[in-house]
Amino acid sequence: MNLAVNLERSASFFPDCPVISENGLEMSYAGLNEQANRVATGLIKLGIKPGDHLGLCAPNSPDWLIFYFGVLKAGAVAVTLSSLLSQDEFHLLVSHAKLRFLFTTESRLSSLYDIRGTEGIEKIICPKGDLTLQQISDQGTVYFEAVDRNRIDTAAILYTGGTIGMPKGVMLTHENINTSAHNVAFSERSTEKDRALCFLPFNHVFGQVHIMNATILSSGCLELLPAFDLERVIGLIETGRVTKLFAVPTVYARLLMLENLETIMGNVRYCFSAAASLPTEIVRQWKERTGINICEGYGLTESASAVTYNHYYRHVVGSIGGTVPGVEVQIRDMSGNRVERGQQGEICILGRNIMKGYLDNPEATAEAFWEDGWFRSGDLGYFSDEGYLYIVDRLKELIITGGENVYPREVEEAIYTRHEIAECAVVGIPDKEWGERVVAFLSVKPGQEISPDTLKTYLKSRLSGFKVPKEYIIVSDMPRSPAGKILKRELKKIYKM
């Protein structure tokens, strides 16, 4: 089993159909497959063996895809790093992953030359690097079939989590990614006629598995944007070039601010939100104005994305849906015992999509699994009677104030019901008296304003007193991860300053 066979299949079914489109330029399936064959055979000529680690650290581009599938076809492992990593983070991960080759951008060159001696990178692939992608491809051949791999061999490594302690490099196997890509394509009823908007980075599980690999499996086309840019997103949608929209909640919130949203939707048939919990209010407004449900999924890097899916059949607002075919979820207490349906506990997962382990990090791997093989998500949730899953919060985001548990999500949901609010994030700040105190960060819609006192009074009518934030901090914009998630740890830093 080799994940890259999905590309080969699509290239044989639809050789002339576009697989990727960027700035009006398109590359066909046959083209991508040939290029990937050239890179794979070129890499093999340069001594790359099955199982070797090869890195990618660059923004989304057709070349990124060519290299990724080239690496997979050669039987090697694609280590996909965020192109936004700081220099220190980058060095840490490059060294941890023991990369033989690295595909990157010119801007990283000087910093790489500083460390290459100690870190053992043999070849840096970028313009002005040791080799260009073109030079590798020139050494290769057009005809090649992906090297067969065992289903439990690692296909890709995606780093997750912060930079504290040992890095967590999630090893996803050929079977893991294939299972998830197939699940997503099934749930979304993807076909060769779909065009998926992708401004989410390929190094992240959402961009790489949910959007990119699922699209290639179903022979669709990726409409590429290097990053989120509201004007360009609107432009692409308006021209009718997008059938599937993938975004995080904040993007939907921003699109909802457009007065003419109803008229610009073009051929969009499907909307999906992930990477953070979606406020109920946004789903409701979006459905009202566009007629389309925002589907939601729940997944982690460790689960190669899809765990649950909030179905278009029956979208249950506020839930993250039911488990996807073949994936099981149990709610367990802190000793690993299953709790009754309806009770809260940690969301634990079993399925062919669950990672093999963290690269060279046996301690973290051991902590992540119960003895019976169930993966611990670190998220707190419960099942409804209908088998729909609800997320209460991240275990580690739980705020304990005066001995009471406060789930930031619940407070955020309450704040979002105010029409003045564009975005909000609730965090716990260390407090002498209470242990932690609840603090809300807010951004307000253009032309709107709201005073902390008004908001506080309003929240008191909806929440228990101990859940109502003690402080309200208005910010112009929220710190965000490359995937668009609000970074609460950054907010806490802002608070300290």
Partner 1 sequence: MNLAVNLERSAFFFPQRPAVRQTGLEVTYTQLNDQSNRIATGLMQIGVKPGEPVGICAPNSAEWIAFYFGILKAGAIAVTLSSLLTGNELANLVNHAKLRIIFTVDAKLQEMELLKGSGGLEKIICNGGDLSIHRLMDMGSGSFNAIDRDRLDTAAVLYTGGTTGIPKGVMLTHEGINFSSYSIAYYERSTEKDIALCFLPFNHVFGQIHIMNSTIMTSGCLEVLPTFDMEKVLEVLETGNITKFFAVPTVYIRLLSLPDLKETLGPLRYCFSAAASMAMEIVKQWKERTGITIAESYGMTEAMPITFNHYYPERHVVGSVGQSVHGVEVQIRDASGNFLEQGQEGEICIRGPNVMKAYLDNPEGTSAAFWQGGWVRSGDIGIFDPNGYLSIVDRLKDLIITGGENVYPREVEEALYSSPEVEECAVIGLPDKEWGERVVAFIVPKSGKTISNDALKTFLKTRLSSFKVPKEYIIADELPKSPAGKILKREIKKKFING
Minimum CB distance to partner 1, residue 119 (Å): 36
Rounded to a whole number of angstroms, the minimum distance from the CB of residue 341 to partner 1 is 8
Should residue 193 be labelled a site residue for partner 1 when binding is judged by CB under 8 A? Answer: no
Is 386 in a helix, a strand, or coil? coil
Q: Does 49 bind partner 1 (CB under 8 A)?
A: no
186 is a contact residue toward partner 1 (CB under 8 A): yes
Rule CB under 8 A: say whether 22 interacts with partner 1. no
- Find the shortest distance in angstroms from Cβ 387 to partner 1: 7
Q: Over 75-88, what HEC string results?
A: CCEEEECCCCCCHH
Q: How far apart are CA 407 and CA 94, in angstroms?
A: 36
Strands 294-300 and 270-273, bridge-based pairing? parallel
The piece of 176-184, 398-406, 419-427, 429-437 that touches partner 1 (CB under 8 A) is 176-184
State the angle between helix axes of 5-13 and 29-45 in degrees (0 to 180), rounded to the nearest 10: 140
Beta strands at 328-332 and 195-198: parallel, antiparallel or unpaired = unpaired
The two structure tokens encoding residue 43 = 């890499």
Tokens of 132: 């260009």
Tokens of 113: 């030359």
CB of 14: closest distance to partner 1 in angstroms? 8
Which of 91, 98, 254, 311 is the binder for partner 1 (CB under 8 A)?
A: 311
Sketch the per residue contact string, 319 through 358, with partner 1: x for CB under 8 A, - otherwise.
---x--xx-x------------x--------x-x------
Distance CA 390, CA 407 (A): 13
User: Whose Cβ is closer to partner 1: residue 346's or residue 393's?
Assistant: 346
Q: What minimum distance in Å lies between the beta carbon of 194 and partner 1?
A: 13
237 exposure class (CB count in 10 Å sphere: 0-12, 13-18, 19+): buried
**From 57, 85, 185, 209, residue interacting with partner 1 (rule: CB under 8 A):** 185
Q: Which is nearer to partner 1, 315 or 470 (CB)?
A: 315
CB 167 within 8 Å of CB 361? yes
Q: How far apart are CA 399 and CA 228, in angstroms?
A: 31
Taking CB under 8 A as the rule, does residue 314 contact partner 1?
yes
Site for partner 1 in 397-436 (CB under 8 A): none
Pick from 418, 419, 455: nearest CA to 440: 455
Nearer to partner 1, 240 or 326 (CB): 326
Sign of the torsion angle spanned by Cα atoms 65, 70, 73, 75: negative
Q: Provide, rounded to whole angstroms, the least separation between the CB of residue 328 and partner 1.
A: 5
Q: Which of residues 375-394 bind partner 1 (CB under 8 A)?
A: 386-387
d(Cα 310, Cα 323) in Å, to the nearest integer? 9
Q: Which is nearer to partner 1, 231 or 386 (CB)?
A: 386
CA-nearest of 70, 81, 89 to 105 is 81
Q: Is 466 an interacting residue with respect to partner 1 (CB under 8 A)?
A: no
Rg (C-alpha) for the chain, rounded Å, is 23
Least distance in Å: CB of 209 to partner 1?
14
Give the footprint of partner 1 on residues 108-167 (CB under 8 A): 151
Q: What is the 3-state secondary structure (H, E, C) of 250-318?
A: HHHHHHHCCCCHHHCCCCCCEEEECCCCCCHHHHHHHHHHHCCCEEEEEEEHHHCEEEEEECCCCCCCC
Tokens of 111: 């910093």
CA–CA distance, 272 with 275 (Å, rounded to integer): 10
Q: Which is nearer to partner 1, 30 or 276 (CB)?
A: 30
Given the rule CB under 8 A, which of 71-79, 295-303, 311-319, 361-369 is the region that contacts partner 1?
311-319
> What residues from 205 to 244 belong to the interface with partner 1 (CB under 8 A)?
217
Closer of 217 and 455 to partner 1 (Cβ): 217
In the complex, which residues of this chain contact partner 1 (CB under 8 A)?
A: 1, 5, 8-9, 12-14, 151, 175, 178-179, 182, 185-186, 189, 191-192, 217, 311, 313-314, 322, 325-326, 328, 341, 350, 352, 386-387
